[in-house]
Amino acid sequence: MKFSDRSKRRISRPHLDRSFQTGYGSADHRNWKHPPMPWKKNFDVDVARDRAKALFWSKGYEATSMEDLLGCMDINRGSFYATFGSKQALYLDVLQRYDQHYRCGVLDQLKAEFTPREAILTLFEAVRKEAAGAKGTRGCFLANATMELAASDKSVAKIVGVAFSQTEAFFKAMIEHGQADGTIRASADPDVVARSLLGLLLGMRVLARGGSPAPVLESIVQQVKELL
């Protein structure tokens, strides 16, 4: 029964006939992984996406190939396209999640757990420390995306534009609150200093990606203290 079905189908789909040319078309010899479980994906979507995020983050969009992606996510093409749509869609998805979970999350946490002055300094300290660590040269996903794609892709430009202006707003709010409670110098213009902090933050990210020596970033953190 099955054999006859196959031979009938093969006639109507001639391009499949080439499989015999590959030399190992037999199902008996392929590596066995899991029995197919059609009612349930046999990988964790969130884990796979996080792995893709790590790869896009450190290599960028263009330099990451589908093969890289499938290898590190440990899924196959069919599952990839069924779950994530396309390489581009996954990238935008991952960028947006980074923005929402990482950037927004961090800023909210800083706002909630620290005094205004400490919140700003803690953020800069965290960036300095991250740059000094093992994954130092991957920088900031949003900054990387800006440099690679903002000029040519409107969706990316929109995401990073919003991210930057919200970060600026965070700095401005922290400065105004710090001035109210006397921990930040009253002579600071909240707009000017907030924008400068944004500039310094992004500058640190470029320097980190370029592998600048640690004292450079330390001096910038030092300067931030003096700005407040």
- Tell me which residues touch a second copy (CB under 8 A): 58-60, 62-63, 137-139, 143-144, 146-148, 150-152, 157, 160-161, 164, 168, 189, 191-193, 195-196, 198-207, 209-212, 215-216, 219-220, 222-223, 226-227
Q: How far is the CB of 35 from a second copy (least distance, A)?
A: 39
Residues 127-166 close enough to bind DNA by CB under 7 A: none
> Using CB under 7 A, which of the segments 60-68, 145-153, 189-197, 217-225 binds DNA?
60-68
Q: Which does 219 bind (CB under 5 to 8 A by kind): DNA, a second copy, none?
A: a second copy
CB 168 within 8 A of CB 195: yes
Site for DNA contains 55 (CB under 7 A)? no
User: 65 contacts which partner out of DNA, a second copy, none, CB within 5 to 8 A by kind?
Assistant: DNA
How far apart CA 105 and CA 166 sit, in angstroms, is 12
| Residue 46 binds DNA, judged by CB under 7 A | no
Q: Which of 109, 116, 111, 108 is nearest to 178 (CA)?
A: 116
Residue whose entry in the numeric block shows the structure tokens 């907030």: 194
- Residue 21 site contact among DNA, a second copy, none (CB < 5 to 8 Å, cut-off depends on kind): DNA
Candidate segments 15-23, 94-102, 133-141, 193-201, binder of DNA by CB under 7 A: 15-23
Of 69 and 220, CB closest to DNA: 69
- 43: number of CA atoms within 13 Å, CB side? 19
**Among residues 1, 11, 37, 134, the one that binds DNA under rule CB under 7 A:** 37
Examine residue 8 and tell whether it contacts DNA (CB under 7 A): no
Output the DSSP codes for 32-98: P-----TTS-SS-HHHHHHHHHHHHHHH-STT--HHHHHHHHT--HHHHHHHH--HHHHHHHHHHHI
* Euclidean distance between CA atoms 24 and 26, whole angstroms: 6
Shortest distance, position 77 Cβ to a second copy, whole Å: 22
Structure-derived torsion over alpha carbons of residues 134, 204, 187, 172, reported in degrees to the nearest 10: -80
138's tokens: 């991957």
